[in-house]
């Protein structure tokens, strides 16, 4: 066993040492040579010199700073110590800087190509990349809400995206390339410590995308059920299957498209109203706000009006009730559906 360890050490460390070890050994050798050589030649003429002075002279010479507080006065100190330290020091410094630059470029390239592993916490994970425009729209709407600041961390998982677009790199988005239904990919995105997950359709309008989203949902829920998941689907028939898979919310785009088209025909202008309510860019939005102090719905509606909000109804695990009777009792902790200009923490 000891012989095997020695053999591995000889092959991997002594015969082919890593770059960091080569730099360390060469740096130590130059520092030792310069320090001892400087003292050997200059100490007889200047007895006050100490080892720290020789080390300081070697460092400022290697880095080409040259303060001039210490310099060799003897021929041996100048030609046998000074020149070698200058030449080898500059070469060693350039070699070290080139390795550091190469490591930084490699790390940035690996991150842009989704090959890195991230240590994130309380972040958002977006699955699938249907296109830059859609991902940016989702992020912009999230950033406009006070509950999700621009400093919040976001990780994007996609299997076929070769490199993260520059626009998303500027936003500080982390990219993980791999099968989104595999544990190895989810681990690299720190899904276990995520707070929310959004599963987008890889190919918008293609019902076959729902099959992948079901598999992703199963992988998420099997690994960490505490992550709040919102899944997009194309076929309304997939909604029930996604709910059975364990996702928290399902958004069926085709169902909403048909509703918008029919309502815009029957009630022209509905599209503008819905766009205003759904967007965080301005105007009014729909909010679910916790009721802090119970009472009747009429009383709580009055509190909402005093805060600039209009109470629409109540929401709970069973669904949403709109246009609730004023005498309906509302207990603390229930969710109130309101329309207002900004989110309220509590009513």
For residue 4, pLDDT over 60 is answered with no
- How high is the mean pLDDT of the chain? 85
| DSSP code for 78 | I
Span 298-308, average pLDDT: 88
CA distance 290 to 338: 11
C-alpha 228 chain-centroid distance: 17
Q: Are 252 and 310 in contact (CB under 8 A)?
A: no
Mean pLDDT throughout 153-171? 93
**pLDDT tier, 111 (very low <50, low <70, confident <90, very high otherwise):** confident
> Average pLDDT of 178-204?
93
| Confidence at residue 68, expressed as pLDDT on a 0 to 100 scale | 77
Band of residue 283 on the pLDDT scale cut at 50, 70, 90? confident
Q: How far is CA 138 from the centre of its chain?
A: 15
Q: Which of 4-8, 169-173, 205-209, 275-279 has the lowest mean pLDDT?
A: 4-8
| CA 65 – CA 78 distance, rounded (Å) | 16
Tokens of 342: 């900004």
Structure confidence at residue 15 (pLDDT):
63
CATH number, domain 2-110: 1.10.287.70
**Residue boundaries of the structural domains of the chain:** 2-110, 124-257, 284-340
Residues 332 and 292: beta-carbon distance below 8 Å:
yes
Question: DSSP for 88-134?
Answer: HHHHHHHHHHHHHHHHHHHHHHHHHTT-------S-EEEE--S-HHH
Residues of the chain with pLDDT > 70, as a percent, come to 94
User: Between these two residues, 144 and 232, which has the higher pLDDT value?
Assistant: 232
Q: Which helix (H) or strand (E) holds 283?
A: none
**What is the reported pLDDT for 131?**
93
Q: Calculate the alpha carbon distances from 99 to 30, 95, 105 in Å.
A: 19, 6, 10
Residue 181 pLDDT: 92
From the CA atom positions of the chain, what is the Rg in Å?
Answer: 33
The dotted CATH code for 124-257 is 3.40.50.720
pLDDT per residue as tens digits for the range 41-77: 888 888 888 899 889 988 888 887 877 778 888 888 8
User: Predicted confidence band at 6 (pLDDT cuts at 50, 70, 90)?
Assistant: low
Which percentage of the chain shows pLDDT scores above 90?
29
Residue 177, φ and ψ in degrees, nearest 5: -100, 130
Question: How many CA atoms, within 13 angstroms, populate the side-chain half-sphere of residue 189?
Answer: 33
Of 245, 183, 257, residue with least CA distance to 211 = 245
Count how many residues are written for the chain. Answer: 347
């Amino acid at each position: 066993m000891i012989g095997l360890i020695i053999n591995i050490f000889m092959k991997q460390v002594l015969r082919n040492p890593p770059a960091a070890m080569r730099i360390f050994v060469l740096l130590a050798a130059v520092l030792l040579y310069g320090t001892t050589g400087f003292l050997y030649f200059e100490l007889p003429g200047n007895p006050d010199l100490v080892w720290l002075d020789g080390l300081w002279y070697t460092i400022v010479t290697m880095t080409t700073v040259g303060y001039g507080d210490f310099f060799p006065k003897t021929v041996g100190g100048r030609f046998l110590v000074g020149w070698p330290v200058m030449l080898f020091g500059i070469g060693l410094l350039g070699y070290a800087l080139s390795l550091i630059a190469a490591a930084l470029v490699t790390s940035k390239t690996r991150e842009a190509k989704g090959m890195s592993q991230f240590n994130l916490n309380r972040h958002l994970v977006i699955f699938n990349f249907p296109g830059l425009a859609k991902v940016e729209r989702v992020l912009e709407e999230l950033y406009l809400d006070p509950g999700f600041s621009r400093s919040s961390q976001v990780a994007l998982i996609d299997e076929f995206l070769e490199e993260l677009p520059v626009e998303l790199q500027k936003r500080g988005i982390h990219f993980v390339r791999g099968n989104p239904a595999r544990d190895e990919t989810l681990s690299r995105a720190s899904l276990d410590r995520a707070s929310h997950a959004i599963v987008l359709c890889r190919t918008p309008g293609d019902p076959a995308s729902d099959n992948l989203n079901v598999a992703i949902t199963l992988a998420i829920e099997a690994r960490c059920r505490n992550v709040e998941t919102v899944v997009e689907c194309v076929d309304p028939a997939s909604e029930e299957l996604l709910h059975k898979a364990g996702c928290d919310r399902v958004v069926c785009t085709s169902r909403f498209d048909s509703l918008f088209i029919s309502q815009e025909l029957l009630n022209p202008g509905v599209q503008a109203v819905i766009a205003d309510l759904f967007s965080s860019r301005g105007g009014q939005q729909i909010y679910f706000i916790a009721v802090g102090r119970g009472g009747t719905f009429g009383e709580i509606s009055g509190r909402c009006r005093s805060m600039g909000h209009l109470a629409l109804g109540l929401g709970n695990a069973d669904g949403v009730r709109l246009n609730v009777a004023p005498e309906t009792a509302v207990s603390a902790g229930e969710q109130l559906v309101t329309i207002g200009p900004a989110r309220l923490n509590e009513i």
